[in-house]
A = this chain, B = another copy of it.
Amino acid sequence: MKIGDVAKRTGASVRSIRHYEKVGLIRATREENGYRDFDEADVLLVRRIGRMIRLGFTTEEIATFLNCIVDDPATVTTCPKVAAAHRLKLAAIERQMADLETRRQKLLITLKAASGQDDTSVPETLAHAETNPIALAHPRHPGARGLFRRRG
């Protein structure tokens, strides 16, 4: 099966599939003319990789546990690495959610203050009360990007 077929059957772009091969997530044999040759198992694998990426794993992370997932027909067996990676990702996501929630609250406070017609209110967001010069931080959201990412 050629790469274009795999792309159609998985929803991943040809470019992405080549990328997955380059970073070692999949392997492809070559035909005499140099074309990559895939089989049914590769289709399943690429789909799995797509799901992992949509879950927020990077290809580097996926590489650490992908070989730990064995699927016989109708059954999936995993080794502990998989769960460990999932727990880490879960914790990261919860950190991000907490951060977003904080920001959300501050935005709400500002909006509430701004809706109070007159201007005497000094919402935290706009106030220049912050005294500590320590730059805080937001985690950069390690989620999916590129093709899999929304446009707006």
Contacts and interface: CB of A to CB of B under 8 A. Distances in A.
Contacts of A12: 135
Interface in A82-128: 82-83, 86-87, 89-90, 93-94, 96-97, 99-101, 103-104, 106-108, 110-111, 114-115, 119-123, 125-128
A107 B123 contact: no
| Copies of this protein chain in the complex | 2
Contacts of A132: 11
B143 A149 contact: no
A56 B140 CA distance: 11
Given A69-B126, A104-B93, A111-B86, A138 B133 contact: no
Interface residues of A, number: 73
A145 B139 CA distance: 7
B86 A114 contact: yes
B96 A100 contact: yes
A47 interface: yes
Contact of A133 (B10, B69, B114, B122): B10
